[in-house]
Homo-oligomer: A and B are copies of this chain.
């Protein structure tokens, strides 16, 4: 049996693994709590150690820097949504954007995300993480837009990335900049403005 040395005591590897997992989970929970309360700038390893009861040396063994901790805590942000495929592009986009609107207005990640965007302006590691997070987040919307383009709806005149910006940008704008309500009427306006209905061929 693999055995690991934890301080003075040699313990069976399985128990040690469990203990490590429990400590890591405590650290992650406390990091996420600090992120939600005070943003990336408010994450302090000293305070995480104090509140989680996990020693700083142990924290540094798993995460070499504060950015590494923040990145790990953020990797679970948002929920992975499947791209719907009802055969109706408009309905699929409205369903994805209504779900996004709901999350923007109610999920806890939506008040943490601006601090990641802010940190990404100055921290290259966080910028890389934000790029990956963003790409994963936009993937189902891109999938539906590409499916629409394959059907000629909309036509070839705009790129997928340009269409995604016109679908998602107005929702982000209302959540974080103008602080207006994102209701179903608004979502339908945005979808219909971006992907106008075409006469069937």
CA distance A193 to B173 in the complex (A): 17
CA distance A139 to B190 in the complex (A): 21
For chain A, the count of residues having a C-beta within 8 Å of the partner chain is 41
Binary contact readout A145-163 vs B (1 if CB under 8 angstroms, 0 otherwise): 0000000000001100110
* A window 105-133: CB within 8 A of B: 111, 114-115, 117-119, 121-122, 131
* A window 146-198: CB within 8 A of B: 157-158, 161-162, 164-166, 168-174, 176-180, 186, 189-190, 193-194, 196
CA distance A169 to B174 in the complex (A): 8
A170 & B166 in contact (Cβ 8 Å cutoff): yes
Q: Closest Cβ of chain B: how far from A108's Cβ, in Å? A: 11
A180 & B165 in contact (Cβ 8 Å cutoff): yes
Is A134 among interface residues, defined by CB-CB distance under 8 A?
Answer: yes
CB < 8 Å: which of B41, B161, B170, B189 contacts A180?
B161
Is A138 among interface residues, defined by CB-CB distance under 8 A?
Answer: yes
Is A81 among interface residues, defined by CB-CB distance under 8 A?
Answer: no
CB < 8 Å: which of B111, B157, B170 contacts A121?
B111
Contacts of A164 in B (CB 8 A): 178
CA distance A121 to B112 in the complex (A): 9
A169 & B173 in contact (Cβ 8 Å cutoff): yes
B114 & A118 in contact (Cβ 8 Å cutoff): yes
